[in-house]
Amino acid sequence: MAGAGDGAVAATRRVIRYRGDEVDERDDVIAGETPFTIFLNGNELVTLQATPDHLDELAVGFLRAEGFIASMADVADLELDPRTGTAEVTIPGLPDFAPKFHGRRVITPGCAGALSLIDLARLKPFAAEADQVFLSRRRLEAMLGCLSAAPLFRLTGGTHSALLAWPEAEGESHLVLREDIGRHNAVDKVVGRLTLDGIPLGGRILATSGRVAADLVKKAVGLGLAIIVSRSAPTSLAVELAERMRLTLVGFARGDRLNVYSGHERLRGGWSDGEAGR
C-alpha cells in the first residue's frame, strides 16, 4: 500500500471584489479540485472529481460504500500515485466489470456513484437492536462543533464536511472528520479512514454538511449507519427511504435547532419530550 495522496487542497487566485459601490483587487483562497481515477483489477472503474487529499481513504471508502469490499481483508493491493491522480486496486475473486462499466465514467462533485453493487431491494430495515445507538444532545453539540470548525471550509467556503461519531459511551473524543468538494467524497473519505484502521462502522453516527438525498440514505443503510445528521435539508425520497429502513434522519441541525424526519426514538439524553424538530 503506497502513499496517502496529500496534494494541493487549496490555491490562491487574484480576484476582483465588488462590495456595493466599492471595487478592489485581492487574493482569494479557493478549494482545490482534481480528477482521481480508480482502477480495479486492471480496469478503469471510475473517475471522481475530488479534493486532492486523503486519496487512499477516498479509494477505499468508495469501494466499501459501493459494496465492492467489506474490509481491507478483501484488498490484495492498493497502489496510489498522487502524481497521476490514480489508484490501482486489486481485489481477488471479483468478476470482470469491464463489460458492465464500459467507457469512461466521471462522477462530478454533486453526484453519487452509479456503480454500486448494493441492491436497494436487498437492504433490510434496521432491527430493534439498532435502537441501542442513540443521539444525545451532548453528542450532537460535539458533532456540530466539529463540522463548523472544518478548516478547509473556513479557509475557502468551498467544501463539504462529513464525520463519523462513536457511541457516547466510547468517549467524546471519538470524532473523525474529512472534507471534500463533493458531499459523497467527504463521506467516502471518512468511511475509508475507519476501514483502513479496521474499525467497525456499525453503531457509528454519520454527520454531513450537505443535503441528504436518497442515495446517501442507501449508502448509510448499506454501511450499517442507523443515524444521519445534516446541517442541510433532506429530499422527499430520502425521508421515505429513511422511514422504510427505520433510519433516524435529522436535518437543519444548527445550534439548538433541528428537524427529525424519521426515527425520533433514537434521540435520547438531554432532549425534553417533543423538543426535537420544533
Report the predicted TM-score, pTM, of the whole model to 2 decimal places: 0.88
Predicted confidence at residue 273, as pLDDT, reads 56
The angle formed by the CA atoms of residues 167, 178 and 111, to the nearest 5 degrees, is 110
Predicted confidence at residue 2, as pLDDT, reads 40
The angle formed by the CA atoms of residues 45, 48 and 200, to the nearest 5 degrees, is 80
pLDDT by position in tens, the chain (length 278): 443 445 589 999 999 999 999 999 999 999 999 999 999 999 999 999 999 999 999 999 999 999 999 999 999 999 999 899 999 999 998 876 554 554 445 565 555 555 566 677 778 888 766 567 888 898 999 999 999 999 999 999 999 999 999 866 555 557 899 999 999 999 999 999 999 999 999 889 999 999 999 999 999 999 999 999 999 999 999 999 999 999 999 999 998 899 999 999 999 877 765 554 44
Residue from 165, 166, 161 nearest 181 by CA: 161
First-to-last alpha carbon distance for the chain, in angstroms, is 48
| Sheet strands (E) in 143-221 | 160-165, 175-180, 205-208
Do the bridges between strand 257-262 and strand 43-50 make them parallel or antiparallel, or are there none, so unpaired? unpaired
In our burial notation (b when 16+ CB lie closer than 10 A, e otherwise), range 107-128 reads bebeebbebbebeeeeeeebee
DSSP code, position 7: -
Query: Treating both helix axes as pointing N-terminal to C-terminal, what angle do 55-65 and 183-196 enclose, rounded to 10 degrees?
Result: 90
Residue from 207, 226, 199 nearest 128 by CA: 226
Predicted confidence at residue 202, as pLDDT, reads 86
Query: What CA–CA distance (Å, rounded) separates 194 from 128?
Result: 25
Residues designated catalytic: 111
Residue from 27, 80, 74, 76 nearest 53 by CA: 80
Predicted confidence at residue 148, as pLDDT, reads 93
Judge contact between 276 and 260, C-beta under 8 A.
yes
Predicted confidence at residue 93, as pLDDT, reads 87
- Quickly name the fold that domain 128-266 has: Cytidine Deaminase; domain 2 (3.40.140)
Listed by start position, the domains of the chain span 128-266
